């Protein structure tokens, strides 16, 4: 299965393919920090794997037969008949799944080499980009809000140039018309999952 590290009590980072300079524990710490900075609560699972698996996911959920650098699978909220509160009994808890992110190590390594930064930094950039999609941002539909938010968070988290800003051509990226994010319902008690496609 590879190396696994929890992000917090509920979230998880899974490495199926190693990345120089990055351990599951260090990416877990970054994801937790980025979630707080971006205001993205709930459980997040990050899968770090190869292009073959990203291609399979892309084909399965989007009907696109090519690898991509990052896919986001935001959870579809499932109404609960019982209000869930935190340990103090106040407000909603973050028990709900926020979603899943899958990242291609192969593309991350190539992009990092092309742009002159580490593969570890590229992995963080891709994780942040995926988190913003989980938080409801969509750079294909908005008027630049995601790009602005990603740029601010990149500076705050000490990351190189944002993913959206560099999509102009220097980096291996699929054409905008071939990109989408997948929206999937969190697994319920009976382990059913509902999926729908949304443009990215």
pLDDT in tens, 18-37: 999 999 999 999 999 999 99
- Which residues constitute the domain of residue 172? 3-199
pLDDT of residue 197: 34
Distance CA 198, CA 148 (A): 21
Query: Which candidate, 146, 127, 149, 126, places its Cα nearest to that of 138?
Result: 146
Q: How many domains does the chain have?
A: 1
State the average pLDDT over residues 157-173: 62
- pTM attached to this predicted model: 0.72
pLDDT of residue 182: 45
Residue 87 or residue 195, greater confidence: 87
What count of other Cβ atoms lies within 10 Å of the Cβ of residue 193? 12
What count of other Cβ atoms lies within 10 Å of the Cβ of residue 190? 5
Residue 82 or residue 42, greater confidence: 42
pLDDT of residue 116: 87
CATH number, residue 150: 3.40.390.30
Query: Does 158 score more than 60 pLDDT?
Result: yes
pLDDT of residue 9: 53
95-112 confidence digits (pLDDT tens): 578 899 999 999 999 999
Is residue 21 within 8 A of residue 71, CB to CB? The reply is no
pLDDT of residue 10: 61
Residue 160 — pLDDT band, cuts 50, 70, 90?
Answer: confident
Is residue 107 within 8 A of residue 48, CB to CB? The reply is no
Compute φ and ψ for 135, nearest 5 degrees.
-80, 0
């Amino acid at each position: 299965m590879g190396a696994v590290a929890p992000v917090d009590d509920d979230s998880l980072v899974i490495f199926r393919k190693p990345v120089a300079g990055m351990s599951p524990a260090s990416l877990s710490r970054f994801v937790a920090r980025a979630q707080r900075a971006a205001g993205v609560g709930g459980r997040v699972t990050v899968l770090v794997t190869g292009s073959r698996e990203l291609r399979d996911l892309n084909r399965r959920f989007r009907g696109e037969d090519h690898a991509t650098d990052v896919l986001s699978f935001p959870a579809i909220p499932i109404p609960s008949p019982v209000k869930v509160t935190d340990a103090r009994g106040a407000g909603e808890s973050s028990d709900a799944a926020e979603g899943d992110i899958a990242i291609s190590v192969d593309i991350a390594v190539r992009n990092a080499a092309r742009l002159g930064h580490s593969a570890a930094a590229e992995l963080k950039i891709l994780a942040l980009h995926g988190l913003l999609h989980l938080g409801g941002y969509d750079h294909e539909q908005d008027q630049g809000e995601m790009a602005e938010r990603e740029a601010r968070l990149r500076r705050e988290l000490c990351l190189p140039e944002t993913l959206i800003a560099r999509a102009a051509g220097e980096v291996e990226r699929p054409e905008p018309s071939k990109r989408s994010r997948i929206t999937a319902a969190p697994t319920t008690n009976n382990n059913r999952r509902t999926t729908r496609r949304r443009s990215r």
